[in-house]
Amino acid sequence: MLAEQQTMVVPERVTAVRLICRACEEERSEIEDDHFCATVDSSLRLEDRHGWATCRRGHRIELIRVSRIR
């Protein structure tokens, strides 16, 4: 099991993300299920700077929005 927290940085104007759950990828080799998919689709409203995505197996992934440095 993945001990560290999963985090994805979301660019300032992006509202929809598709990512891979690292915890599921690690467990995939343990369960040897070729049909298991670790893809996670999530969204983050433009006004939000922080959020969470959860994969089908319940692993949480932190979403953090970053702004461009001007």
Long-range contact pairs involving 43-50 (C-beta distance under 8 Å, separation at least 24)? 43/15, 43/16, 43/17, 44/10, 44/14, 44/15, 44/17, 45/15, 46/13, 46/15
- The two structure tokens encoding residue 44: 């983050």
Indicate the pairing of strand 6-10 with strand 60-65.
parallel
Q: Structure pTM?
A: 0.78
Residues 3-61: pLDDT tens digits? 579 999 999 999 999 999 999 888 776 555 544 578 999 999 999 999 999 999 899 99
Q: 52 or 68, which is more confident? A: 52
